[in-house]
Structure 1
Amino acid sequence: MLAWALLSAVLWSLAGVGSARSSLFSNEGFVYGTVGHPVKIYVKLHQTSPVLVCMDIDRASKETVDPIYLWIGPNENTLTGSSQINITNIGELVLKDFMESLSGHYSCTLSYKIVKAETQEETSLKKKYDFLVFVNPFAPGWKSMCNSSMDCEDVTNHNILKARDRIEEFFRSQAYILHHHFNITVPAMHFVDHSFQVTRIDNCRPGFGKNEGLHSNCASCCVVCSPGTFSPDMDVTCQTCVSAHVYGAKACP
């Protein structure tokens, strides 16, 4: 997470890999599959994922006869509806209150038929679509800073920059008042105009890290550590640990 001064928060909404982004995303927040190319998606912690569509855009523009949708989750089990998983009757998947444990590989198999107009002959076909879904978290303390705002990044950075400006104005006003109203010589330690600066801090919360190779289209994002890695502190990268079998590991068992 890149941040100003003491608090960090970088949020990433969505990103697609394997095709041009415009071919994967619609204006309504739907993400379509691509045969043979997993689509990577980054979801903010505790937010709702985009709508994952068990179909590619080309197939969506055509008539689909007798479609059957089968979603498989990260644990290789068939997905069913729950408080965090919503699957519609037209093969759309939405993940709610997204957490580290929901990260991973989601696949959907679409079975359907095509009918030849001339002979009315039916042919059964199957297509598989893969989605890799990862958590991109809020920074520690985002709830108190953002008051449940849906866009914590903007609120956090705005508040920190406002605090910087107020601190700078305080020292400037103090020096002016002491010198012009009380005829007090400004002490040796005093504010120098334009000397106050803030520093960007680059770190990730435990269980998260940056990986330009794995997440090239979200290189600056803190993304949940994949199985086989862990991050025990506010480091920038996930460390290797062959015995870590879950997403977001904070220790090496």
Structure 2
Amino acid sequence: NTKHKGNFAVLIIINTIGRRRSKLQSILKIFLYSYSYIAVNIYVKIYTSSPFLVCMDLALSQREVIDPNYLWIGPDGKNLKGKGYVNLTATGKLMMKGFKTQMSGSYTCTLSYKTIQTDTQKETNNFKTYKFMLYAYREPDYTYQISVRFTTKECGIEANGQFFEELKKILGDLISDLTCQVIEPSYKCHFVKLPKHGLLDELFVTFKVNPFAPGWEALCSQFSYDCEDVTNSKVQKARELIEEFFHKQTYILRHEFRNVPAIHYIDHSFEVTRIDSCRPGFGKNDISHNDCAGCCVVCDRGMYSPNNEVICRTCRNIRIKHYGAKSC
């Protein structure tokens, strides 16, 4: 659930437990180290926990550190020690629990420690500062745009419109149990010249499928987090059901009809495109957040997103000082 970028080292520690068990079990922990001269970008999926951020660079971690002291400062400029939403260990490792939009921002740790010369016992105080940039992100919400084609007797007949209305009803009923819906349905009739054939009249049908049919909010209320994972899973299932429905039309035409209907599905005409959208306060930016390309990353300070588009806009009227703004 966590993505990260920058000049850092990742130390993976595997602890084996249950020695008497026939199958070994492991706990995987990922520690992120920073260098003192550059901030590490880390993307944390909303409502999950961040990896452990280490107040020490990898080189220093291989040496003896005397009297270490760790001071973690959050985006609000306050000491994080004692906060209920952090896990701060005695060795300076920081984990943010249940990451929320407002937790995004700069995290700085100052490590103070001593070095002692063995011959003179002279003590020297040392200080190092490490920086991490944490960004909340979400998975985009999926909508599928689907297009199919049908042959028809001719473009001007009333039966085309009647057929289209019946098709909409069938598709809506097919996915209603998933709290998904068909939106923006439309059709046009065109004359098509096929190679080595004359002109054919065809219906070009397009529509979108999204997971936000009436009642989807009640489904989400069963979870303690925003449920884009659930809605995305359902709309993918809806897309699969619709694709299966059209593929079956070819079999039905070949095996169950003696006389092919005037309006019928054209084999292999099914086409689908996924359209992503982000929740308000989030957007995509493959340039500034290229390590989380495709993610909906929280809008930066000075930017906002009021709708379900994928772009965070710059607010020119006032200076937005928090992450994830939904209005200017």
Task: Give the TM-score category using the shorter length.
Answer: 0.7 to 0.9
Q: Encode CA deviations 1:155-207: one digit per residue, 9 max, x unaligned.
A: 8767655543432222332453355235353341x332322122121332210
CA distance in 2, matches of 1:178, 1:25: 58
- 1:2-81 to structure 2, matched below 5 A, reads 13-17=2-6, 19=7, 23-27=8-12, 28-81=29-82
TM-score calculated relative to the size of structure 2: 0.63
Match of 1:186 in 2: 261
Unaligned runs of 5+ in 2: 13-28, 142-210
CA distance in 1, matches of 2:246, 2:284: 38
Q: 2:120 maps to what in 1? A: 119
- Cα distance, 1:187–1:45 mapped onto 2, change above 3 Å: farther
Range that drifts further, 167-176 or 103-112: 167-176
Report what 1:223 is aligned to.
Answer: 297
Task: Give the conservation status (yes or no) of the 8 Å contact 2:140–2:295.
Answer: no
Structure 1 stretch displaced more, 194-203 or 228-237: 194-203
Larger relative contact order, structure 1 or 2 (CA cutoff 8 Å, min sep 6): 1
Q: Cα RMSD (Å) of the superposition?
A: 2.8
Q: Name the CA distance, whole Å, in 1 between partners of 2:139 and 2:277.
A: 12
CA contact (8 A) 1:203 1:236 kept: yes
Q: Which stretch of the first structure deviates more once superposed, 66-75 or 213-222?
A: 213-222
Q: Cα 1:132–1:125, aligned 2, differ >3 Å: closer, same or farther?
A: same
Counterpart contact for 1:172–1:191, Cα < 8 Å: no
Q: What's the CA shift string for 1:84-139, capped at 9, x where partnerless?
A: 11111111111011011100000000000111223222111000000000001134
Q: Tell me how far apart the structure 2 counterparts of residues 203 and 139 of structure 1 sit (CA, whole Å).
A: 5
Question: Which of 231, 237, 246 matches 1:171?
Answer: 246
Say which one has the larger Rg: 2
Count matched residues. 233
Matched-pair contact (CA < 8 Å) for 1:115–1:122: yes
Amino acid at match of 2:239: R
Of 274, 283, 292, the match for 1:200: 274
Percent identity over paired residues:
46
Cα 1:184–1:170 shift into 2, 3 Å:
farther
Partner of 2:319: 243
- Contact 1:179/1:186 (<8 A) preserved: no
**CA separation in 1, counterparts of 2:128 and 2:303?**
32
Rounded to whole Å, the distance in 2 between the matches of 1:125 and 1:232 is 47
What's the secondary structure of 1:167's corresponding residue? helix
Q: Distance in 2 between matches of 1:216 and 1:46?
A: 22
One-letter code aligned to 1:176: Y
Q: Structure 1 pair 155/24, CA: closer, same or farther in 2 (3 Å)?
A: farther
Which residue identity is paired with 1:204? C
Moved more, 208-217 or 56-65: 208-217
Residues 83-162 of structure 1 aligned to structure 2 (within 5 Å): 83-139=84-140, 160-162=235-237
* Matched position secondary structure for 1:48: coil
Give unpaired runs (5+ residues) of structure 1.
1-11
Kept in 2, the 8 Å contact 1:16–1:24? The answer is no
**Are the aligned partners of 1:45 and 1:138 in contact in 2 as well (CA < 8 Å)?**
no
Go from structure 1 to structure 2 and tell me whether the alpha carbon gap of 1:243 and 1:51 turns closer, same or farther (over 3 Å shift).
Answer: same
CA spacing shift, 1:202–1:161, aligned 2, 3 Å = closer
